[in-house]
Amino acid sequence: MMLASSRSRSTSSRTRSTSTTSTTALLPKRSAGIIRQHVQDGIELAREYKLPDRIWKFIPMHHGTILIKHFYAKAIDEAIEKELLVDEQDFRYPGPKPDSKETAIVMLADAAEALSRLVDTSQREEIVRAVEKIITDRTADGQLNDTPLTLNDLDIIKESFVKSLLGSSHQRVRYKDVPPPQEPARS
């Protein structure tokens, strides 16, 4: 995942330096394509660095065939105004879907990490609702269908994510600096 992210950042930087247009101002389909590209970039980097197949298969599976909802919704809004049709597949990651417990956990963890930047991670109830929504959405979309995850596994994953996200908001205690020892006074 980090390999994909590092390539994405360089691609994004290149895009920003040649244009003042951000993905929010681009056409929704093009914006979704730019976002999807980080998966292919990650696969190329994994091959370039000769990572084993069992590792680089996590790169496309960490998004499965998830719908890029923000840009899909924008496309729908624009299509209604212009009386056009929108192909949902243009707004989905190419997949494949996760096929193991491990790849599913990475998918869910990636979403939980993104979530940590959007919700108040000091409020347990808010975190629980958000993590449950991630799991419910991925399950309803069929993203976990090819995995052997059980409902019990999903409960354990949920509690682990909630605990981790709550822990991430914990501030460390700032201790006073200890003054250097003073030499005894001479008489």
Q: Both 54 and 135 in a single domain?
A: no
Q: Are 39 and 63 in contact (CB under 8 A)?
A: yes
Residue 104 confidence (pLDDT) above 90: yes
DSSP string, 2-32: HHHHHHHHHHHHHHHHH-S--TTTS-HHHHH
- Whether 54 and 6 map to the same domain: the answer is yes
Q: Is residue 78 scored above 60 in pLDDT?
A: yes
136 and 45 housed in the same domain: no
Select from 44, 71, 96 the last residue of a domain: 96
Query: Given this model, what pLDDT does residue 82 score?
Result: 87
Count the neighbouring beta carbons within 10 Å of the beta carbon of residue 96.
13
Is there a domain that residue 69 lies in?
Answer: yes
HSE-CB for 174 with a 13 A CA cutoff? 0
Say what the pTM is: 0.75
Verify that 108 and 161 share a domain, yes or no: yes
- State the residue range of the domain holding 126: 97-170
Which of 37-41, 71-75, 119-123 bottoms out in mean pLDDT, i.e. has the lowest? 119-123
Domain count, the chain: 2
Angle value at C-alpha 161, between 157 and 162, nearest 5 degrees: 115
pLDDT value at position 87? Answer: 94
Indicate whether 92 and 123 sit together in one domain: no
For residue 182, being part of any structural domain is answered with no
Cβ–Cβ under 8 Å, residues 165 and 121: yes
In a domain, 183, yes or no: no
Residue 181 lies in a domain: no
Is residue 180 one of the residues assigned to a domain? no
In degrees and rounded to multiples of 5, residue 92 shows phi and psi of -115, 145
Do 18 and 44 fall into the same domain? yes
Final residue in a domain of this structure, among 96, 118, 147: 96
* Mean pLDDT, rounded, for 10-34: 59
Residue 187 located in a structural domain: no
